[in-house]
Each structure stands twice: as C-alpha cells, then as structure tokens.
Chain A
Amino acid sequence: MPLAVARDVRSVTGVDAETLRSMYRHMLRARLLDERCWVLNRQGRAPFWISGMGHEAIQVGAAMHLRSGVDWVAPYYRDLALTLVLGMTPKDHLLSALGRADDPNAGARQMPAHFGCRRLNIVSTGSSVATQLLHGAGVALASKMRGEDAVTLTSVGEGATSEGDFHEALNFAATRRLPVVFLVENNGYAISVPADKQMATPDVADRAAGYGIPGVVVDGGDPVQCHLRCGQAVARARRGEGPTLIEAKVVRLTSHSSDDDQRRYRTAESLEEERQRDCVLLFAQRLDDLGVLSAVDAKVMRAELQAEIDQATLEAEQAPEPDPESALDHVVHDGAGELDLTGFAAAPER
C-alpha cells in the first residue's frame, strides 16, 4: 500500500493502517476460533461453549493498549478475543473446550471460557459474576502500593452490573484512585432479560458519576472508536489519575451459551438486525473502503487463520485427558509448610 494512503488513514480514523490490520486479524482469529468451538459443541465433541461473538471489537481495542505480562486483566467469560491478543492461543482454548489435561486456563477443571494464565497476568475467573471486578481493584492496589505503572483492565457484562461487587469495586477503586479500567460489555441481555428490565438508566456509564470517575459510552461495533477510547482510559490510569468506566454497546450474535436458545425470548427481526451490526463484517468492509485491506487480502488472511485453527483443533483432540486421580491435586499447597498430622506438636510419650 502506498505510504500516502496509510498517512491518510491515520488522519481520517486516528489509527494507523498497520494497527487497523492487526486489529482486524485479532478479531477474525477470535471469531473463527469461536465458530469452531460451536461446531465442536454441536458435533457432541465439546460439552459446552459460551461465546464472545459480537464483542470482538471492544476486546481487541482494549487489549491493544495493554503490555502482556506487565499489565493485568481480570476478565469474564466472553473475553476470548481479549485473551488471544494478550498471548493465549487457539490451541489453549481448544484444550479447554475439549477438557484436555494441558488446558492452561484451568487444567480442564473449569467449564470453557473460564480464562486464566498467570504468565500473562490474566487472573483466573470463576463462574460467580462480578467478583473479578474486586480482584481487579485489588491487583491495581498492589501495583499502586509498589509504585509500578501497571494498569489493570477488568471486564463484565451489563447483567452483572446489578451485583453488589460491581458497586463495591468501583467505589473502592475510585476512592483510592487506583490504576484500573472497568469495561462493561453491554450486549443488552442478561441471558434472557433485556437491559430495560435490569436497570432504569439506558447507560451503565451514567453510574460513573456516582463514584466520581469518568464514564464513557463506546460503540462496540466500531473498532476504531473502541481503540481510541480505551487508549484514553488506559493512559489516564497509567498517569495515576484513577479509574474509568467504559461501557461498550455490543451485540450478542449467539445465544447466551450452547445450552440456551435465544429464539425463545427474542424476535427474528431483532436477531436479524443485530446480525447487520456484526463488528467483524462491518470492519472488513470499512478496511476495504479505506484501502487498508482488500477483500482479496482479507480472504488470504482468513485462510491462514483457519489453517491455524484447524491445526490447533487436531492437536487438541490428540492431547491426553486428565488422569482421574489428578482431581485430588492442587487443593492447598503441598510442598513447604506441609502439615504434620501425626500427633501433638509436643506430645509427651507414654
């Protein structure tokens, strides 16, 4: 591509062409992996899947500003794309989906999409929603106490913003001006309950005012806007100016999980309308229009990524399942400080 085009892209969008291509690649990679996991589920090879389709733009836009293994994330179950940008691989998540021993998230102990990787500072996630926001605040507290410039990003769906932990985390992080970004991925549904039955305000971001921090609404269908707004929030946190609440309006292109059927509670029209707002498709069109990535180049990219995921699927399927008895491992530390259960600490002999 001519340099002039690239310069022009930056002046038009605020983001350079190379970054835009990289973002698209990350989004597409997550999408293809997500689709593969659905197929494995529908084929009966993966017992469960929960999807991030429709959330890719905001996750990639946010993750691009984080230094993998230096900054921290406390994610939630739709953050597949986020973890991939930070360095996890399709194979990592396929090992999890198929319940294989080498799953780095959880050693095949947790359901898929319960992310975690210490090497990459991705905090392990359970299934209780919103608890991770307090972990994010605590991680950021430790960074601040040590005088480090690490930023923590912690994310949540809009459904879990009804939980008490959401309030407790924002209130505490704001009070102590912690270097944390709270990201709400608002797809409009808590499983089957629409947002207007969850809260009386149209924007979760409005609540930021109650904590004395900035609240920002972002179009989660626009990767460029996601990238720019997240960059501002991360920079603010890194400067020591405290937390930001970002609310990305996203679409949920799939049912809540592989055990749900959203046709039971959403109209065909609304589902079709959301499909028109698919951030991956829209971004591909936009990059073509901008002259950043032609349809032909996008096709080549897709083929490369599909090949990677095919290979990863093959390897994950061939990987061993966990040894049944390993279910007993890792309850508590079993090395130094091992408990002596033989008798009294200083028992008299008799």
Chain B
Amino acid sequence: MPVRTYVDAIREAMREEMRRDRRVMVFGEDVGAKGGVFGVTEGLQKEFGEWRVMDAPLAESCIVGVSVGAALNGMRPIAEIQFQDFILPAVDQIISEAAKMRYRSAGDWNVPMVIRAPFGGGVHGALYHSQSLEAMFCHVPGLKVVVPSTPHDAKGLLVAAIRDPDPVLYFEHKKAYRSIRGEVPEGDYTVPLGTARLAREGEDIALFTYGLMVHTALEAAQRLERDGFSVEVVDLRCLRPLDRGAIVRSARRCGKVLVAQEANLAVSVASEVSAIVAEECFEYLDAPVMRIGGPEVPAMPFARPLEDFYLVGTDKLEAKLRQLARY
C-alpha cells in the first residue's frame, strides 16, 4: 500500500471525487494557480479548469454563502477557508444558513457541502494562524465536524464528507500536512462519519483525543508502557456526531479516562466527552475524569517559549497520564 503524506491524501480525495462526480467543485482563496497557501489543491485547477477550481475573492462569507447557493442548485462544493482563524466572518452562513436549511424547510432543501479549513498550532502562527475553534461548531445541530489524524482517514473521511448530503466541516491540522505520513489505499473507499478509531489498545487508562494530538498521545502511551501502564488511545476523528458507543466502551473497560486536546478546555470537545463518561460510566470509574488542553488565554502566542508553554507536548501529556495512573 502506498505511503503518503496527510496533505497528499486530502488532495487525492478531492481529485478522485472530482473525476468521479462533475458536481464536485473547489472554491476558496488562492486555490487556483497557487494551489492554496499550503499546496492542498495543487494541480487541481490545471486538471479541472478555472470554474471547478475557482479562486474566490477575499471574503469568507462569500465563500460559504456562494457554496450554499451552488449546493442548493445541484453542485457539491468544497469550500476552502484559508485558515480556520478566518472562518468567523462566515459563521452566519454556516450556523444560520447551512446548518438550518434542512430543518427550517422541513426537509425540502438540503446543503451537501464541505468546508475545509486548516487549524492548530505549533508552526509559529501566533494568535491568528494557530487556533482550534472546532468546539463552536460542535455545539450546532445540523453540522458534522470531522478532524482526521492519519492520511488514511484524511482521504476516507473527506470522500465520505463530500458524499454526505449535509454540511460537513472538515478541519485539517496544518502541522500534520507534511509531518504525518501513512498508508493510503489506492482508489475508492470511505471512512464512515461518526465513528471513532481505536488507535492503540490498552487496559488501564482510556485516552480520548483527535487531530495531531493522537500522535502525541501514542508517544506518551509508549513511554508509560515501559513502566507497565497500558494506555488505550481512541482517535475521536469525528467530533459531531461523537461516537458515543466507542467512548462508553473504552471508558468502562479501562475505568480511568483522560481527554486531551489542543484547544482550551472550557465548553469544549473534552467537556462533552467528559459529560458522556460521567453520565454513562459512573459506576465503572476508578478515578475522576481528567482533561488536558490549552490554557485559558485568547489564543496561542508567537515566540517559541510562549508557544511551547501553550501546547500540550508529549512530556505534559505523559505527566498527566502518570498522575491519573497513580490515582
């Protein structure tokens, strides 16, 4: 099976779907001749032309609102927001329009659309090129939120998102683009939305996480293994809907739960996972549910020491796991 980078897997998903389905189009800033600021759409305009891979004006509400309209009239748009930090001007179109279209028309209309956006820090992007804003969309019924951690899932989840009849937000960790490699099957396959992935089996602690943090989690789990602690790592990979069954199953089996994420913790994905565990697994727990994430500051600062302080690296995650193991 060929080994590919995360970014190549995303591009392959788009290229194959565009070849398969003439309704699929890409609309975003710099997606054309430049191939996107991260090169995700490189070569697509050359193959599919200026209309199906269309450079948008620098206007995020336009990118999403036009995509909603095109979707209503039979297209399958993939809207690219250049950085997730800049999705905010489009939030009215996402939450008031795309998310509510099916519900407010009692099923008469639907919006088959994907919104892709790179998120996450560790690349010296500072406050406005590092954020993890997924939680605000996870709150909204009518949306699906996907965050792949591996090239395999990046392709399979994106194909599933494109074929989904409702709006899907697909968030790509920008530091994963070229640092994460993995096996990607040739040709057509999907990873079903709403399913978690067991990234590592374990007995003592269930560690729930997503995105680039999955790789940090696997490293930290490896370190604990040497001391005889067995950590199960669950890659949530779809944040709305959450795979409730998978969360409950791992939490009950291990009896100790840690939820890790790059975003700050208040009212977040970690909050929701913790609530599910509290509701469904109370009698099975040997320790309080623990969480680790970014500090409660507005966003990730620029300088290396500040950025390192913000991020949950392997050392911090290992320390948290040991604290939970000792409980």
Contacts and interface: CB of A to CB of B under 8 A. Distances in A.
Given A72-B73, A332-B144, A168 B65 contact: yes
B296 interface: no
Contact of A142 (B74, B106, B164, B197): B74
A331 B89 CA distance: 24
Given A330-B102, A341-B243, A124 B67 contact: no
A128 B97 contact: yes
A274 to B, nearest CB: 32
Contacts of A330: 102-103, 105-107
Given A118-B105, A331-B102, A345-B191, A134 B69 contact: yes
A141 B62 CA distance: 12
A44 interface: no
A105 B144 CA distance: 25
A2 interface: no
A5 B193 CA distance: 67
Contact of B103 (A109, A172, A345, A348): A109
Interface in A108-159: 109-110, 114, 116-118, 123-124, 126-128, 131, 133-143, 145-146
B109 interface: yes
Interface string A309-327: 0000000000000000000
Contact of B72 (A138, A164, A343, A344): A138
Interface size class of A (residues with CB under 8 A): 35 or more
Interface in A81-126: 103-107, 109-110, 114, 116-118, 123-124, 126
B245 A341 contact: yes
B164 A337 contact: yes
Given A116-B105, A118-B108, A337-B165, A138 B92 contact: no
Contacts of B193: 337, 339
Contacts of B69: 74, 123, 134-142
Contact of B105 (A124, A340, A341): A124
Residue among B51, B65, B191, B243 with the most chain A CB within 10 A?
B65
Nearest to A171: B57
Residue among A329, A340, A345, A346 with the most chain B CB within 10 A?
A345
Contact of A343 (B25, B56, B246): B246
A134 B198 contact: no
A120 to B, nearest CB: 11
B166 A332 contact: yes
Contact of B109 (A123, A128, A341, A347): A123
Given A109-B106, A124-B109, A128-B92, A142 B70 contact: yes
B241 A341 contact: yes
Nearest to A336: B165
Contacts of A142: 69-70, 73-75
B149 interface: no
A342 interface: yes
Residue among A114, A123, A332 with the most chain B CB within 10 A?
A332
Contacts, number: 183
Given A118-B109, A142-B73, A131 B196 contact: no
Interface string B60-72: 0110111111111
A331 B71 contact: no
A290 B106 CA distance: 46
Nearest to A121: B73
Nearest to A125: B104
B249 interface: yes
Contacts of B73: 72, 138-139, 142-143
A4 to B, nearest CB: 46
A265 B108 CA distance: 39
A330 B110 CA distance: 10
Contact of B70 (A104, A139, A175, A333): A139
Contacts of B100: 126
A169 interface: yes
A126 B144 CA distance: 20
B66 A106 contact: no
Interface of B: 25, 51-52, 56-57, 59, 61-62, 64-75, 77, 89, 92-93, 96-97, 100-110, 141-142, 144, 160, 163-166, 191-198, 201, 241, 243-246, 249
15 contacts: A116-B108, A124-B108, A134-B62, A137-B69, A138-B65, A142-B73, A142-B75, A168-B59, A330-B107, A331-B102, A331-B142, A332-B166, A341-B243, A341-B244, A343-B243
Top 9 A-B pairs, shortest CB-CB distance: A138-B69, A134-B65, A107-B106, A339-B194, A142-B73, A135-B69, A168-B62, A138-B66, A138-B70
